[in-house]
Amino acid sequence: MNSSKPEHPSIFVSHGSPMIALEPGAAGAFMRRLGPAIDAAFGRPRAIVAISAHSLSPQPVLLARARHTTVHDFGGFPDELYALRYDAPGAPQLAADVQGLLKEAGITVQRVDEGGLDHGIWTPLRYIYPDADVPILPLAWAPMQPPARQFALGEVLTPLAGQGVLVMGSGSITHNLRKVFGSGAAVDAPEIESSAAFRRWMHERATARDWDALFDYRRQAPFAVDMHPTDEHLLPWFVAAGAGGRNATPLRLHDGVTHGCLGMDAYAFGPGAGALREALPAVSA
């Protein structure tokens, strides 16, 4: 990594449906630009710590296998989707370092010689870093912990930015699959008001750095429970935000929706967020 470049921001990407791997749409086009923009502004990450809505555990677990294989953790999709592969190197040494950080902060964490990339990790990364050449350390996390605790988990990861490590949360800014499948809405259907109102509230409160409101989003945000009947797809946003720190304003990098209510917003956090947003327009999809 070029030491003259600023530290990597942490990021949150909405991965949406697994079908994004075959039908990239606007979010996929954004993610194709995201990797080159990160490299241009900060240098290629030496590794990625990935916090996905689909890697969950009663307590944090670091998946420290030296090589990851693709996990097709879904059913009922076209055969072409199951044929896709994103087998990437792991980061066992980084796992030891991250375990040390978490233990020093009083967070119990296991490090296991197991691996595998769930679709919340590999579907966005196949666009961000299509060559699957950046080592990945999945951090399985506890979804029963509230947003403030997830943010605190992310704060412990803040020093990784200075070590050339990218912290990536992956979920969805809105996520009610009953609405997605129940409505039968086309991928390009107009957005329903409840989705738009929730995404707008998240953006406004994030821009204001109103952490107290954000931590209490299930009571304060409009249509919060409707947009997140369970909140495992939003909580990685808080981990990534914590890694960026309280004093830096979260910046929305991509604003979009599919199927009328599945939000595809992406954010960057930390002092380098502005440099990343500035780098994006200069990169071709």
Q: What is the mean pLDDT of the chain?
A: 95
CA atoms within 13 A on the CB side of 172: 27
Residue 29 lies in a domain: yes
Residue 232 lies in a domain: yes
Backbone angles phi, psi at 96, to 5 degrees: -65, -40
The total number of structural domains that make up the chain: 1
The answer to whether the Cα torsion of 180, 181, 185, 188 is positive or negative is positive
Distance CA 80, CA 156 (A): 39
Q: Which are the contacts of 239, defined by CB distance < 8 A and separation ≥ 6? A: 51, 141, 150, 151, 153, 154, 157, 167, 169
Residue 1 lies in a domain: no
Give the pLDDT band of residue 285 (cuts 50, 70, 90): low
Q: Which domain holds residue 212?
A: 10-282
Distance CA 108, CA 128 (A): 31
Quick one: pLDDT at residue 1? 43
Quick one: pLDDT at residue 152? 97
Alpha-carbon separation of residue 20 from 63, 226, 264 (angstroms):
25, 23, 11
Residue 98 lies in a domain: yes
Residue 5 lies in a domain: no
CATH number for the domain that contains residue 149: 3.40.830.10
Residue 128 lies in a domain: yes
Q: pLDDT, tens digit, for every residue of 161-220?
A: 999 999 999 999 999 988 887 777 788 899 999 999 999 999 999 999 999 999 999 999
- 51 is written with which tokens? 């916090």
Residue 2 lies in a domain: no
Residue 4 lies in a domain: no
Distance CA 222, CA 214 (A): 12
Helices (H), the chain: 25-42, 79-83, 92-104, 119-128, 147-156, 177-183, 193-207, 211-215, 217-220, 224-227, 235-244, 273-279
